[in-house]
Homo-oligomer: A and B are copies of this chain.
Amino acid sequence: MVTIKDISKACGVSPATVSKALNGYSDIGSETAERIRRTAQEIHYMPNAAARQLKTNASHNIGVVFEDETHSGLTHEYFSQILNSAKNELEELGYDITFISSKIGGNSFLEHCRYRKCDGVLIASVDFHSQQVKELVHSEIPVVTIDYSFDRHSCVMSDNNVGTYELVRYLYRMGHRRIAYIHGEDTLVTRKRISGFHRACAELGLDIPYQYVLEGTFHDPMKSRECTRELMSLDPRPTAILYPDDYSYIGGRVELEKMGLKVPNDVSVAGYDGINLSQVIRPRLTTWYQDAVRIGQEAAKKLIDVIEKKQEAEVEEIEVHGRLIEGKSVRDINGLNI
């Protein structure tokens, strides 16, 4: 392995000088610095991350907490995209990422982070109420969360309130008045969405019966099949259903087919997320697109920001705007007597 000493010998200077030259210190003569840099290139010098970390106490390593118990973290298109985009952004900034699990270097997220000396942590797709997560958030390590907000910590999420608000308004414009909503389990995101739902209903003067609003589960086709069946056995039936996410709709759809109902002729539907899949199935799904790529980027940038100017990087709740994707899954029933 080629070290700083090899360069120092080759150039006839001290190791200290090499280190400084390579790190761009100003107290090294410009031609010396140039010579050192050239030599480093030539003999393929590669700094030793461990040694550097030992001295500087900075690992240039970002921990990522993704739920893996349910195995829904990495195989979840929305979260995968976020992770992928955060990863790209972090690499751009010179940081690696390490998956944090509670099994390594101790038995909690925090201990794993300490063991690897993560400069910061990104938390997403996880049970935010768990003791482990709380412990991590309240530790000395900079943290940015995605789709959840803790006091005194920055977070990134999409405009959930606006999303359902606009979806409802869209359905209304298409003539729908009996709008059902299967929402996700109780999380901050869900609460914002429900609030957007009610806000729109209030503004539009819609009086939605409580049976039309059901608690489902995110990313769970089976649960949404149940809910769909329940909704469609009400009298009167809803003319449109809002699903908690696109993937859940896939389940609901099976149930609708089973009942002999066609989308959108017999019932209109809309999803949430705007994953690729939703635009590949037929009819193309009308849905609210969450810009997962931007969410990942913003989270990464904010985290680095917090790490680098620790003292006072502004604590903020970054909202990433989504947009309506108009598919073919909502029927215009204006004028029809339904």
Total residues of chain A contacting the partner, CB 8 A:
50
Q: Does A71 contact B (CB under 8 A)?
A: yes
Q: Does A68 contact B (CB under 8 A)?
A: yes
Q: How far is the CA of A174 from the CA of B212 in the complex (A)?
A: 45
Q: Which residues does chain B contribute within 8 Å of A91, judged by CB atoms?
A: 99, 101, 103-104
> Which A positions have Cβ atoms within 8 angstroms of B?
46-51, 53-54, 59, 68, 71, 73-75, 77, 80-81, 83-84, 87-88, 91-92, 94-99, 101, 103-106, 111, 114-117, 221, 250-251, 253-254, 257, 276-277, 280-282
Q: How far is the CA of A49 from the CA of B116 in the complex (A)?
A: 6
- Tell me the smallest distance from the CB of A327 to a CB of chain B, in Å: 13
5 contacts between A and B (CB under 8 A): A47-B105, A48-B54, A74-B87, A95-B104, A221-B280
Q: Which residues does chain B contribute within 8 Å of A53, judged by CB atoms?
A: 50
Q: Are A49 and B105 in contact (CB-based, < 8 A)?
A: yes
- Tell me the smallest distance from the CB of A252 to a CB of chain B, in Å: 11
Q: How far is the CA of A91 from the CA of B69 in the complex (A)?
A: 13
Instruction: Enumerate the 9 nearest inter-chain pairs by beta-carbon distance, A residue then B residue, closest first.
Output: A50-B53, A74-B84, A50-B54, A50-B50, A74-B80, A75-B80, A91-B103, A91-B101, A250-B280
Q: Which residues does chain B contribute within 8 Å of A111, judged by CB atoms?
A: 46
Q: How far is the CA of A116 from the CA of B46 in the complex (A)?
A: 10
Q: Which residue from chain B places its CB closest to the CB of A254 in the assembled complex? A: B282
Most central of A59, A91, A254 by chain B CB within 10 Å: A91
Q: Which residues does chain B contribute within 8 Å of A254, judged by CB atoms?
A: 280-282
Given contact pairs A50-B50, A94-B104, A281 touches B87 in the complex (Cβ within 8 A): no
Given contact pairs A46-B111, A50-B53, A75-B81, A98 touches B97 in the complex (Cβ within 8 A): yes
Q: Which residues does chain B contribute within 8 Å of A48, judged by CB atoms?
A: 54, 117
Q: Are B87 and A68 in contact (CB-based, < 8 A)?
A: yes
Q: Are B68 and A74 in contact (CB-based, < 8 A)?
A: no
Q: How far is the CA of A253 from the CA of B48 in the complex (A)?
A: 52
Q: Which residues does chain B contribute within 8 Å of A75, judged by CB atoms?
A: 77, 80-81, 84, 276
List 19 additional A-B contacts (Cβ < 8 Å) besides A46-B105, A46-B115.
Answer: A46-B106, A47-B105, A49-B50, A50-B50, A50-B51, A68-B87, A68-B88, A74-B81, A74-B84, A75-B81, A87-B99, A91-B104, A95-B104, A96-B104, A97-B99, A98-B98, A251-B280, A254-B281, A257-B282
- Tell me the smallest distance from the CB of A240 to a CB of chain B, in Å: 21
Q: Are A99 and B96 in contact (CB-based, < 8 A)?
A: yes
| Contact pick for A51, options B54, B74, B94, B281, CB 8 Å | B54
